[in-house]
């Protein structure tokens, strides 16, 4: 009996394994988020942030009161993803320390994305992905989110108070990061404005940040009445309840941050028409902060934009991230005559739209 194993020498190891390994990386793509959530839940970023020097495995395990073997495997994984760093202490001993990525996971950090990670990893936001294929193939009339939860995303959070805070915290966290990028990347966008209305501003987090950086601006935070009723009072910001499909409060400029991507083109055009009516026709403008797909000059940013497009499909069904041409279509259909796009250091772009 011939037990010789035959190997095709014409196929190199790289050619055989690379596609398989790449596909496994996609299939297991949920794992980095799950392990990051584990680190947040354990409080590892904050512990390392409060420690003046690199922390040994023994010390970290002792503080967390967890087995060293399991903790070592968690840290080894996150170091491979550059979430934490290893630094030598003495002899052959190494310690764990923060990295630029893990500093974004501290609870009290100015640029923390912890609340976004906790929101996106929650069962509420994960469940709709399992029904995406049924909706795409036409086997169900409901959007993926509606199929998973019985109502759309806005109805769900309005009817489930226990989930409202995590949702609002996640949105506010994203808003702060975007506003910081706008102010640092193109502060001139706010120059000369006396009044600014943030349409769909939720709890007013974005507008508070803008007014703090630009104290000459009087801000109007505009959202549905039940949303703004929970908003925090702050100097320079007035909260106004209403429906953006009916009207938008008057101001020198309208600020729309990640609002239009929730809606189909016809709804987006209707919102923009209300915004155009709210601003001076000679000096006013609408400031849109959102993704613009097709930025091939920055592959990583474009990739995040495409991920967000999948999220819009899953969470809203009508929403989408738009290309340059798609943005041009909705702006011109809404009656605007010109617009400019400024790219900033995150996946958002700043679009200034003029009557």
* pLDDT for res 297: 55
* pLDDT for res 154: 81
What residues of the chain score a pLDDT lower than 50? 1
Which three-class secondary structure state does DSSP give residue 25?
A: helix
Across the chain, the runs of DSSP E, i.e. the strands, are 84-88, 94-98, 195-199, 218-223, 237-241, 253-257, 285-293, 322-323, 338-343, 348-354
Phi, psi (degrees; rounded to nearest 5) at 208: -60, -45
Spatial contact of 174 and 258, defined as CB atoms under 8 Å apart: yes
261 is catalytic: yes
Q: State pLDDT tens for residues 6-57.
A: 555 555 555 556 888 888 888 898 999 999 999 999 999 999 999 888 999 9
Spatial contact of 95 and 38, defined as CB atoms under 8 Å apart: no
Across 143-209, the runs of DSSP E, i.e. the strands, are 195-199
| Per-residue burial over 1-30, b = 16 or more CB atoms within 10 Å of its CB, e = otherwise | eeeeeeeeeeeeeeeeeeeeeeeeeeeeee
Residue of 149, 163, 239, 261 with catalytic role: 261
* pLDDT for res 345: 74
Question: For residue 299, what is the enclosing H or E element?
Answer: helix 299-315
Q: Could you tell me whether strands 237-241 and 218-223 are parallel, antiparallel, or unpaired per DSSP bridges?
A: parallel
Q: State pLDDT tens for residues 98-149.
A: 999 999 999 877 788 899 999 999 999 999 999 888 888 877 677 899 999 9
**Among the listed residues 299, 285, 293, the one whose alpha carbon sits nearest the alpha carbon of residue 337:** 285
Can you tell me the distance from the alpha carbon of 112 to that of 188, in angstroms, rounded to the nearest whole number? 25
| Cα separations in angstroms, 270 against 117, 266, 274, 309, 335 | 32, 6, 7, 21, 10
**Total-model pTM:** 0.81
Long-range pairs of 148-156 with CB within 8 A, sequence gap ≥ 24: 149/124, 152/316, 152/317, 153/315, 153/316, 156/124
* pLDDT for res 88: 87
Phi, psi (degrees; rounded to nearest 5) at 34: -65, -40
Spatial contact of 269 and 239, defined as CB atoms under 8 Å apart: no
Spatial contact of 61 and 115, defined as CB atoms under 8 Å apart: no
* pLDDT for res 33: 94
Can you tell me the distance from the alpha carbon of 117 to that of 272, in angstroms, rounded to the nearest whole number? 31
| Cα separations in angstroms, 314 against 29, 137, 210, 217, 308 | 17, 13, 30, 36, 10
* pLDDT for res 288: 96
**Among the listed residues 190, 180, 192, 355, the one whose alpha carbon sits nearest the alpha carbon of residue 284:** 355
């Amino acid at each position: 009996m011939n037990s010789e194993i035959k190997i095709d020498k014409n196929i190199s190891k790289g050619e055989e394994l690379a596609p398989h390994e790449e596909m496994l990386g996609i299939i297991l793509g949920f794992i980095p988020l799950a392990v990051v959530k584990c680190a947040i839940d354990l409080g590892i970023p904050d512990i390392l942030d409060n420690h003046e020097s690199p922390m040994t495995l023994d010390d970290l395990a002792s503080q967390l009161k967890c087995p060293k073997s399991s903790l070592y495997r968690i840290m080894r994984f996150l170091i491979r993803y550059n979430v934490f760093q290893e630094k030598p202490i003495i002899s052959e001993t190494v310690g764990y320390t923060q990295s630029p990525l893990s500093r974004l996971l501290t609870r009290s950090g100015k640029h923390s994305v912890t609340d976004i990670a906790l929101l996106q990893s929650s069962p509420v936001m994960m469940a709709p992905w399992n029904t995406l294929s049924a909706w795409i193939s036409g086997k169900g009339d409901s959007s993926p989110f509606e199929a998973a939860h019985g109502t759309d995303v806005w109805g769900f959070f309005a009817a489930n108070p226990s989930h409202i805070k995590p949702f609002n915290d996640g949105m506010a966290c994203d808003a702060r990061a975007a506003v910081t990028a706008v102010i640092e990347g193109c502060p001139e966008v706010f120059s000369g404005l006396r009044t600014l209305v943030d349409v769909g501003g939720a709890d007013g987090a974005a507008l508070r940040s803008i007014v703090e950086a630009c104290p000459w601006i009087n801000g109007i935070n505009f959202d549905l009445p039940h949303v703004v009723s929970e908003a925090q009072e702050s100097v320079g910001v007035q909260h106004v309840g209403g429906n953006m499909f009916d009207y938008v409060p008057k101001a020198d400029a309208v600020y729309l941050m990640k609002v239009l991507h929730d809606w189909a083109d016809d709804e987006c055009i209707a919102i923009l028409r209300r915004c155009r009516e709210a601003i001076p026709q000679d000096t006013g403008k609408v400031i849109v902060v959102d993704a613009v797909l097709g930025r091939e000059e920055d592959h990583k940013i474009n990739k995040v934009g495409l991920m967000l497009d999948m999220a819009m499909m899953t969470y809203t069904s009508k929403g989408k991230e738009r290309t340059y041409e798609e943005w041009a279509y909705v702006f011109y259909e809404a009656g605007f005559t010109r617009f400019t796009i400024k790219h900033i250091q995150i996946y958002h772009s700043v679009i200034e739209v003029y009557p």
